[in-house]
Amino acid sequence: MHLSRESIRSLRTGAVGILALVAVWWLAALTVLSGARVPTPDGVLTTAVEAGWGFWSLHFGMTLQEASVGFLYGTLAGLVVASLVLLFPVAEPVLMQVAVMSYCVPLVAIAPVLFIVIGNPDEGERSGTATALAALAVFFTTVVGTVLGLRSADRASLDVVRVFGGGRVRQLQKVQLISALPSILAAMRIGAPAAFLGAILGEYVGGVQRGVALILKIAQQNVDVEQAWAVGIGCALMAGTVYAVLGLVGRVVTPWSKGAAS
């Protein structure tokens, strides 16, 4: 794909920003924060390399699986609720209140409740609690983004469908879903990192044999600063990669509205 000058400039700016951040981190770790258990970048990198690819893929792979399944469920549920809001306006107050409530309830507070209901996962299986929290983290963003996108449909196009005998369902299929696609993809882009965070919170509740939360707990118990930082940076890289990939998908799928998807 041909990169525009704006895209190249953005990549260059991002690379410079990351290098500057690493330089400041390195300098601070060697000077003003030398006694504050802040490791240097090379120490974190050495720890990550020594752990090996198998170690990271085992734990991050499980969390990514939980986040992906939860992301899928949460996105589908959000799309269904948003569609119902458009098809049945009388139900909008109730449906939107449910969406708002799902957003207002702290994930940390509801995690133990979900764990009691769902229980421990089988050995080697993904955590149901982590998957549920990942879905919950995505749901509200998807509902709001989809509703706004559906309502931004061109009125003239809706009138054309109505003139040819189409009802609300036909308008939704032929006009509104296409119009809402940039907003849906933008909501998915925002929700994906949130799903990853929700999965980690679900793992923290307990009952997992693999996952990012497990190795974070072990690093905390062993006061392994380098390991904890390596996991944190790995999470940031994972979330940033998913965010960037979905942004690229948005540019490809909706070339007529790059601004909405980026």
If DSSP states are collapsed to H, E and C, what string results for 208-229?
Answer: CCCCHHHHHHHHHHCCCHHHHH
Evaluated on CA atoms 69, 74, 79, 80, the torsion sign reads positive
Lowest mean pLDDT among 62-71, 78-87, 195-204, 205-214: 205-214
Q: Given this model, what pLDDT does residue 7 score? A: 64
Q: Are 183 and 149 in contact (CB under 8 A)?
A: yes
Q: Given this model, what pLDDT does residue 208 score? A: 85
| Mean pLDDT, range 112-131, rounded to an integer | 88
**Among residues 243, 240, 242, 222, which one has the least CA distance to residue 232?**
240
Q: Is a pLDDT exceeding 70 seen at residue 4?
A: no
Q: HSE on the CB side for 173, CA within 13 Å? A: 7
Rounded Cα distance between 224 and 242, Å, is 27
| Mean pLDDT, range 9-14, rounded to an integer | 75
Q: HSE on the CB side for 61, CA within 13 Å? A: 9
User: Considering all CA atoms of the chain, what is the largest pairwise distance in Å, rounded to the nearest integer?
Assistant: 74
Q: What percent of the chain has pLDDT over 90?
A: 46
Query: What's this model's pTM, rounded to 2 decimal places?
Result: 0.85
Categorize the per-residue pLDDT at 260 as very low, low, confident or very high, splitting at 50, 70 and 90: very low
Rounded Cα distance between 189 and 197, Å, is 14
Q: What's the mean per-residue pLDDT of the chain?
A: 86
Contacts of 29 (CB under 8 A, 6+ apart): 38, 39, 40, 41
Total Cβ atoms within 10 A of residue 141: 23
Q: Given this model, what pLDDT does residue 60 score? A: 94
Q: Are 129 and 115 in contact (CB under 8 A)?
A: yes
Q: Given this model, what pLDDT does residue 186 score? A: 92
Q: HSE on the CB side for 70, CA within 13 Å? A: 32
For residues 191, 194, 199, 205, the Cα torsion angle rounded to the nearest 10 degrees is: -140
Burial profile 180-202: b = 16 or more Cβ within 10 angstroms, e = fewer? bbbbbbbbbbbbbbbbbbbbbbb
Q: Given this model, what pLDDT does residue 262 score? A: 45
CA distances from 201 to 35, 110, 184, 225 (A): 30, 10, 25, 20
DSSP code of residue 126: P
State the first-to-last Cα distance of the chain, in angstroms, to the nearest integer.
16
| Mean pLDDT, range 135-153, rounded to an integer | 91
Q: Is a pLDDT exceeding 70 seen at residue 201?
A: yes
Q: Are 81 and 91 in contact (CB under 8 A)?
A: no
Q: Is a pLDDT exceeding 70 seen at residue 1?
A: no
